[in-house]
Amino acid sequence: MAAISEPAELAGAPQLSGLRRLRWPWLAGAVGVLGVALVVGAATGPAHLPPSEVLRSVLARIPFVHVVSGVSARDEAILWSLRLPRVVLGALVGGMLALAGAAYQGVFRNPLADPYLLGAAAGAELGATIAIVAAPTSTFLGVNVVGLAAFAGASLAVVGAFFLGRAGGRNPTMLILAGVAVASFLTAIQTYVQQRQTGSMRQIYSWLLGRLVTAGWQGVWFVLPYVVVSTVLILLHRRLLDALAVGDTELASMGVRIRRIRIVVLAAATLGTAAAVSVGGAIAFVGIIVPHTVRLVAGSTYRVVLPLSLVLGAAFLVLTDALARTVVAPAELPIGVITAIIGAPFFVVVMRTSREGAG
């Protein structure tokens, strides 16, 4: 990624030399946490798979690494057909939600902003609800229609919020209000559909509360291109998000195209969020808790917050999913319930710590 040039607007942006850059020990530590989370997630489940067996099986499939797996054919099938697709999908969804949350916070200069601010969650929920009622088991090009409908609903909701906010003005406040209005409208339609189709309520709520159930790698291949494109675009604008803190007036006087920056970053974050929600449901708090934690521990510059949020968000959701699979085993708790239980009190602690530090 280092070979990709940064946006041209950086030439006119103010120099932010006083802001902390990402130090390699932080990144190495975050990658280490993610590695542990992936092994724990792959080893967790009804069929016990020791972490050592998971590592040997993975290493045995890496070219030029001479390791003998020694894992039984049954355990290999469980690991590569069920466990690893779910773990990788959790990492992609968690990393994308955390990165998108940090990007939204930078664009709106609001620490409470999250990836669902402009109605992505409401649009995805409506799209998924309609698909579950109409054709829950249908597929299109090998992808479940529910996921496609959720992706389309999330994307259209944000586009609608953008045009509604543009009609009311070009400032971020109007865009946020437009997102609230669109989300409320779509939620009302979704509630009406649910009341008319009570027979599908259990399946609808299972999706709405968040889940990472997967029958193979197709969900991973579906979401991966969107996550990669979104991640590259957002990370390329990390310095510009720091520059936005200077203020719109000063940046405009220097020739920086503020509106273009916001549109590109919001479009990238929305694209990734729509893909993540389409396969995982509306999983709450990841986009707020992870960036806040990174700011408290490693620094507030987006050159630090964005990459660490991506890696630690992936680790957070993988570990949360492992917990959801074990806390009431052999049953599973919806992962959205776990993130809310962890996220709500932790958010209060984070806010208190921030206030004490400021004082």
User: Which amino acid, 15?
Assistant: Q
Q: What is the pTM of this model?
A: 0.88
Mean pLDDT over all residues of the chain?
Answer: 84
Query: Could you give the dihedral angle defined by the CA atoms of residues 351, 355, 358 and 359, in that order, rounded to the nearest 10 degrees?
Result: -170
Using alpha carbons, select from 78, 15, 359 the residue that is nearest to residue 216. 78
What confidence score (pLDDT) does residue 5 get?
A: 46
Q: What is the mean pLDDT of residues 21-30?
A: 87
28 or 209, greater pLDDT: 28
Percent of the chain surpassing pLDDT 70: 85
What confidence score (pLDDT) does residue 265 get?
A: 93
Q: What is the mean pLDDT of residues 134-141?
A: 70
Question: Cβ(178)–Cβ(165) under 8 Å?
Answer: yes
What confidence score (pLDDT) does residue 1 get?
A: 39
Question: Cβ(133)–Cβ(202) under 8 Å?
Answer: no
Local confidence band at 18 (pLDDT 50, 70, 90 cut-offs): very low
Local confidence band at 96 (pLDDT 50, 70, 90 cut-offs): very high
User: Which amino acid, 207?
Assistant: W
Say if residue 41's pLDDT is above 90: yes
What confidence score (pLDDT) does residue 17 get?
A: 46
Say if residue 310's pLDDT is above 90: yes
Say if residue 112's pLDDT is above 70: yes
Local confidence band at 34 (pLDDT 50, 70, 90 cut-offs): very high
Local confidence band at 260 (pLDDT 50, 70, 90 cut-offs): confident
HSE-CB for 154 with a 13 A CA cutoff: 29
* Nearest-angstrom CA–CA distance, 193 and 187: 10
243 or 80, greater pLDDT: 80
Say if residue 60's pLDDT is above 80: yes
Query: Which residues, at least 6 apart from 58, have a Cβ–Cβ distance to it below 8 Å?
Result: none
Q: What is the mean pLDDT of residues 22-28?
A: 86
Say if residue 50's pLDDT is above 80: yes
Q: What is the mean pLDDT of residues 35-51?
A: 91
Say if residue 332's pLDDT is above 60: yes
Q: What is the pLDDT of residues 200-230, one digit of tens each?
A: 777 888 777 777 876 578 889 989 999 999 9
What confidence score (pLDDT) does residue 32 get?
A: 96
